[in-house]
Structure 1
Amino acid sequence: MGFNDFMKNLSGNRFTGLQGGRHDIAFMRSLQRDLRTKQTTSIPLNELKVIVFDLETTGFYPDKGDQILSIGAVKVTGSRVEDEYYSAVRYEQILSPSIKELTGLDEEELKQAPEPAAVLAQFFKFSGTSPLVAHHASHEKAFMQHASRKYFRTPFSHRLIDTSFMYRIAEPDNPHIRLEDCCKHNQITVIGRHHALGDARLTAALWAVYIEKLQNIGINTLSQVYERLAAIR
């Protein structure tokens, strides 16, 4: 199967439905209230439900007009995969050749995709109050903060865990930074790179590996992860 066929198969399985507006904003405000009371730092890592996700975007700077093109996510408890989510996001401008080549996305697919607010609302329904996990999460954080303000007039309040937190503790001398290099280092087969769901799957596999490595050195909760990070900074 070619990469474009892989993309089409995934986009055929995406969630559809919400179109933005008052329902979405009301849901997001309710979610914000739930997040304020959610306690996750004392749950054992091998029992913690998280949403591992990835964004493909037109660039790196949402405040300068760059936009989300697709979202992929994997719901996992410990190392057990429970569900997946994927959607392209409507975008009606011309993609740069480099973005088309990198992601495999094309203008026709994006023109037919749901509106950004609808995709984001559906993603937040999928994630609920679970912590989010991303590989080098500053990119995802910037776009989610911008989108939450723009479409729902709410802050982005989910706990966001960067995979680098894990390997900085478990393997402080590990020189690998890129997702594909981290995966190869851990004998994870790299498939679907630079596709939002493909990257989310790879990051989920990496998350599972490092949960085990942290447990082997006595780190069993997020609270202990943060304590150890504070000690090594």
Structure 2
Amino acid sequence: MNVNSFIHWMKQTHGKVSSAVYAPIAGQNRSQQQAFLRSLEKEKKNSLYVPLDKLKVVVFDFETTGFSPEQGDQILSVGAVKLEGWLVKEEQTFYSLVQFSGDLSPKIKQLTGLEEADLREAPPLREVLLKFYQYAGSDVLVAHHASHEKRFLEQATWKLFRTSLKHRLIDTSFVFKLVDTNEQLIRLEDYCQHCGIEVNNRHHALGDARLAAKLWSIYINKLYQDGCYTLKDIYERLAVLSR
């Protein structure tokens, strides 16, 4: 996809999730929003024992201005897709740009196809994250090389809501290591090519979330067939592998 087509596709997907669905939580005061976010923690322990073929997860991705939220880098867009077991729910996606008033570096513009004009008209991060959290509910969060997303999500959640991240967040690369123990893969596209997944809309938050969701589906199915029936089983096998 060329840059112009990419940008056109991105603008079409922006706002697909109706803001009316999220209006109640977005309109609450900070104390009510904190209570909502803290309520999500109650399902965290239970998710360890849900059979993998019934486990509900949200695979998500951030596009950002850089790699260091503690040094002022910001989230530019959020994309996510839901799965139940290894069934990707293509119709249940989330995507939003995030308001940004600064100037993007030429590298970020080229990489993501984002432009300052689109970001200045986007909703603020507080609103986007509340919508994202309501979309995710108490589902397990999954991201490819999740340390990047985790740092931004933790920093933003504390800064905006004065509460810590309550969700369980799983790094896809750890799960992949349990199946392809000898493969030295790093980039999302490398994993996709290894699994025969066509790479489209790379470095678009929703595009990358969809690719990571397909990978999660493949690997979680393989682990289930190999005797890992819950997240607890996966964590125990990872512990053995790391010894």
TM-score normalised over the length of structure 2: 0.91
- Kindly indicate whether the alpha-carbon contact (under 8 Å) linking 1:31 and 1:128 is maintained by their aligned counterparts in 2: no
Please state if 1:13 is matched with 2:20: no
- Kindly indicate whether the alpha-carbon contact (under 8 Å) linking 1:45 and 1:222 is maintained by their aligned counterparts in 2: yes
Letter of the structure 1 residue corresponding to residue 7 of structure 2: N
How far does residue 100 in structure 1 lie from its aligned partner after superposition?
Answer: 0.5
- Kindly indicate whether the alpha-carbon contact (under 8 Å) linking 1:132 and 1:159 is maintained by their aligned counterparts in 2: yes
Q: 60, 74, 80: which is aligned to 1:67?
A: 74
Query: In the alignment, what sits opposite 1:156?
Result: 165
Alignment partners' CA distance in 2, 1:59 and 1:99? 8
Could you tell me which runs of 5 or more consecutive residues in structure 2 were left unpaired when the two chains were aligned.
none
1:30-109 residue pairs with structure 2 within 5 A? 30-38=36-44, 39-82=46-89, 83-109=92-118
Structure 1 stretches of at least 4 aligned residues deviating more than 4 Å after TM superposition: 17-22
Could you tell me which runs of 5 or more consecutive residues in structure 1 were left unpaired when the two chains were aligned.
none
- Kindly indicate whether the alpha-carbon contact (under 8 Å) linking 2:41 and 2:167 is maintained by their aligned counterparts in 1: yes
Letter of the structure 2 residue corresponding to residue 3 of structure 1: F
1:1-233 residue pairs with structure 2 within 5 A? 2-16=5-19, 22-23=28-29, 25-38=31-44, 39-82=46-89, 83-233=92-242
How far does residue 113 in structure 1 lie from its aligned partner after superposition?
Answer: 0.3
User: How many percent identity over aligned positions?
Assistant: 48
- Kindly indicate whether the alpha-carbon contact (under 8 Å) linking 2:79 and 2:209 is maintained by their aligned counterparts in 1: yes
Alignment partners' CA distance in 1, 2:102 and 2:43? 40
Q: Bigger shift: 31-40 or 11-20?
A: 11-20
Q: Bigger shift: 4-13 or 181-190?
A: 4-13
Letter of the structure 2 residue corresponding to residue 175 of structure 1: Q
How far does residue 217 in structure 1 lie from its aligned partner after superposition?
Answer: 1.5
- Kindly indicate whether the alpha-carbon contact (under 8 Å) linking 2:58 and 2:82 is maintained by their aligned counterparts in 1: yes
- Kindly indicate whether the alpha-carbon contact (under 8 Å) linking 2:78 and 2:95 is maintained by their aligned counterparts in 1: yes
Letter of the structure 1 residue corresponding to residue 9 of structure 2: F
Alignment partners' CA distance in 2, 1:25 and 1:61? 28
How far does residue 99 in structure 1 lie from its aligned partner after superposition?
Answer: 0.3
Letter of the structure 2 residue corresponding to residue 26 of structure 1: Q
- Kindly indicate whether the alpha-carbon contact (under 8 Å) linking 1:92 and 1:111 is maintained by their aligned counterparts in 2: yes
Alignment partners' CA distance in 1, 2:139 and 2:190? 27
Alignment partners' CA distance in 2, 1:92 and 1:57? 13
Q: What's the secondary structure of 1:177's corresponding residue?
A: coil
Letter of the structure 1 residue corresponding to residue 41 of structure 2: L
Letter of the structure 2 residue corresponding to residue 91 of structure 1: F
- Rate the CA distance shift 1:204–1:166 in 2: closer, same or farther, 3 A: same
Q: Map Cα deviations across residues 27-51 of structure 1 (whole Å, 9 max, x no partner).
A: 3423313413441011111110000
Alignment partners' CA distance in 2, 1:192 and 1:160? 24
Q: What's the secondary structure of 2:14's corresponding residue?
A: helix
Letter of the structure 1 residue corresponding to residue 173 of structure 2: S
Alignment partners' CA distance in 2, 1:28 and 1:188? 39
How far does residue 14 in structure 1 lie from its aligned partner after superposition?
Answer: 4.2
Letter of the structure 1 residue corresponding to residue 29 of structure 2: H
TM-score normalised over the length of structure 1: 0.95
How far does residue 98 in structure 1 lie from its aligned partner after superposition?
Answer: 0.3
Alignment partners' CA distance in 2, 1:191 and 1:89? 22
Alignment partners' CA distance in 1, 2:209 and 2:67? 18
